[in-house]
Structure formats: C-alpha cells, structure tokens
C-alpha cells in the first residue's frame, strides 16, 4: 500500500501564473539535478514512476504538483547545478523559483536532496538560506547513502549537521534504493503536513 494512497499528479507550472491553487499545506522537494530527487519522491510516496527518474536530467524547468490528499501537496521543484545550461535557462529557473518561494503561503517545509557523496554545496546552502529567510522548515536528505560505507556515512551526516548547527535545519541519511531513512523522512513530512494521528491514509481506499 502506498504511504499516501490518494497521491496523484495535479499540474505542471512553467510560468508563475500556472502554480496550483495556494491553499492548504505543501512540502517542496529541491536539489541539484541527479541528486536523487525523483527517486526520493517515489520512495517516500511508495509510487514508482510518480516522478520520473532520469538519466539525462535537466531538460525541463517545471514545478510539478502532486496531490497527497485534500489540501495536501508534494511539489517537485526543478533541479539546479548544471554547468552547461545556457544563461537564459538559468535566469528562467531563478525567476520561477524566486516567484514560488516569495508568494507561496501554503509552503510549510523543504526537503533538500543532497547526494551524500558530494555533501552540501554552495547552491544547496543558498537554497536553505532562501527558505529560512522566509520562515519555513527545512530537512536535508543525504541521498544514495547505500553508496557509502558506514564511516563515510557518519562523517557526511556529522559535517552536514555541523554546517546547519546555527539554524533549525535537520538532516538524515537516506537511500531510495535500500529504503534506509524512509520512515524518518516520512515522519518529518507527515509532521509538516499535519498528517500524523488521524492520517489521510485512513480516508483513502486500501491499495
């Protein structure tokens, strides 16, 4: 059964006026391209193929909205971190993201996906600063941790927590492949969306 049995694709926005209605609560997922964002969304919603896992990422600059239940959404933000992307595309990305973060009242928290082999980069830190400046919550998923040995996993988690020590940002190890950290990530998301206790799960049909 899916964690969010009612989850379904709602709409894509390429332009600021195309955002889904701004009511209820939503959690956004952001990260560098290829950081494992789509895989994390699929793992957390337990819906393979909900978000597309790509080998040639970065073609689209869309904000994708998924409905988790009534007035509850998951938002897949366009990835960043491409060296070869034309300046015009980067400018468009910035415009769309700035608009989203500036206007979005229903945004409660950001799941920032960071490849555990790279650790937090300058763009990730900038993203966190944007969020914190707007009074939102943020949680870092150190993705693909199945690729690291125990010692390196512990080190990257410690370094990330140290970098975030002055803020309320939290972090954890995560693997979409082994499902390590899945429960913890879902718990954070459910808390932000107020989906704990009498969960929306109970209102959906069994799957």
Ligand X SMILES: Nc1nc2c(ncn2[C@@H]2O[C@H](COP(=O)(O)OP(=O)(O)O)[C@@H](O)[C@H]2O)c(=O)[nH]1
Per CB under 6 A, residues contacting ligand X are 31, 33-39, 53-55, 57, 79, 143-144, 146-147, 175-177
What residue ranges bind Mg ion (CB under 5 A)?
Answer: 37-38
Nearer to Mg ion, 38 or 160 (CB): 38
Nearer to ligand X, 117 or 187 (CB): 117
Give me the least distance between CB of 20 and ligand X, in Å please. 20
Q: Are 63 and 92 in contact (CB under 8 A)?
A: no
Out of Mg ion, ligand X, none, which partner does residue 69 contact, by CB within 5 to 8 A per kind? Answer: none
| CA-to-CA separations, 66 to 102, 132, 165, 178, in angstroms, rounded | 20, 24, 32, 24
Give me the least distance between CB of 79 and ligand X, in Å please. 5
Give me the least distance between CB of 37 and Mg ion, in Å please. 5
Nearer to ligand X, 121 or 204 (CB): 121
Nearer to Mg ion, 66 or 200 (CB): 66
Give me the least distance between CB of 78 and Mg ion, in Å please. 9
Out of ligand X, Mg ion, none, which partner does residue 17 contact, by CB within 5 to 8 A per kind? Answer: none
Out of ligand X, Mg ion, none, which partner does residue 153 contact, by CB within 5 to 8 A per kind? Answer: none
Give me the least distance between CB of 179 and ligand X, in Å please. 9
Nearer to Mg ion, 37 or 144 (CB): 37
């Amino acid at each position: 059964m899916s964690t969010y049995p009612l989850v379904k694709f709602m709409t894509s926005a390429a332009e600021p006026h195309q955002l889904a209605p701004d009511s209820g609560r939503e959690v956004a997922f952001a990260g560098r391209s290829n950081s494992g964002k789509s895989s994390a969304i699929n793992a957390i919603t337990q819906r393979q193929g909900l978000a597309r896992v790509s080998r040639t990422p970065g073609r689209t600059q869309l904000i994708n909205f998924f409905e988790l239940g009534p007035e509850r959404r998951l938002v897949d933000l366009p990835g960043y971190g491409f060296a070869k992307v034309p300046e015009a595309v980067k400018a468009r990305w910035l415009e769309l993201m700035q608009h989203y973060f500036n206007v979005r009242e229903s945004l409660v928290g950001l799941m920032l996906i960071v490849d555990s082999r790279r650790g937090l980069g300058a763009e990730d830190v900038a993203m966190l600063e944007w969020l914190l400046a707007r009074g939102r919550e943020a949680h870092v998923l150190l993705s693909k941790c199945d690729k690291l040995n125990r010692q390196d996993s512990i080190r990257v988690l410690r370094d990330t927590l140290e970098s975030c020590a002055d803020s309320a940002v939290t972090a954890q190890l995560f693997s979409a492949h082994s499902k390590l950290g899945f429960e913890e990530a879902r718990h954070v998301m459910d808390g932000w969306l107020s989906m704990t206790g009498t969960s929306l799960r109970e209102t959906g049909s069994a799957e």
